[in-house]
Structure 1
């Protein structure tokens, strides 16, 4: 099992025509930053599902192409050079809205462990394809394990969060019994508080 993310690592999710580039600082408590390349027709992977981040604001900066971001039912198109912010707790999703590839930088503030969370899903999508549907959606037991382990990072919009927490807590041990494992474990609290080594 991986416990660290290599800076500069690239992981492609073939299901969703999405590549994550982990070019930002690793395990910085202030900001989680990574790039996403969405090929033509790229859906943003799990980001194409309406979801919320209850503990962090999400910042988008489009480097090339154009993306569609829908926040609380309001759609906006962000062109190259543009940016958008999704406040914590707002239901949203995004997708490529252009005729070619789109490249964007995503930041979460505060960082929580969003970098590890997304690196975990990207690694599993790249290496454990059997844990995903043909459309690239994570199978429910695997999703329950990840969302329970990385609590308060991402929830589906709609069902009450307390109910999702309860269900994921019940299903996470079942997922482990069925052979599901994380690719990247979260940091322990004491390592989060310790100063990170110089890059």
Structure 2
């Protein structure tokens, strides 16, 4: 029994020695300093031009309100509104179904910063709310008194106030996913889509 055990130990020692010699030889044969680098290959063909991340986003720029564009006083579910209708052909059915429209307002006369609609404040005296709704090819800015009753009045003309809309398709650049634009400032949204202020 001792002879078999001694034979196994001797064979294991030879095996370990052989394995160590092999690993040392292999590590020297793979040295990175052994050869020179090859010549640089030719440049590949130019890739196709990609679209900007905001290629599908549509922005109106700032537009001055025209006081004559406000509708007559209209009742909607017992609340009295004035409407400011806009024809916007880029509000397609895909935008209505899956896209997003942001509308901003700013009062030039008082130098107030741009605010996303809905907006509430002293617009024509007292407290009014500006909101909007979209339909195929249409955007309507709506104004009412915060109380919901009475004529909110109208505003517009040179140097008074301006509106701007931004249309964001759902299938655009992927920039719309998981973002809450209502928590972003106007400047953050503009910078996000690389649009002009």
Structure number, greater radius of gyration:
2
> TM-score range, shorter-chain basis?
under 0.3
Q: Normalising by structure 2, what TM-score? A: 0.24
Q: Normalising by structure 1, what TM-score? A: 0.23
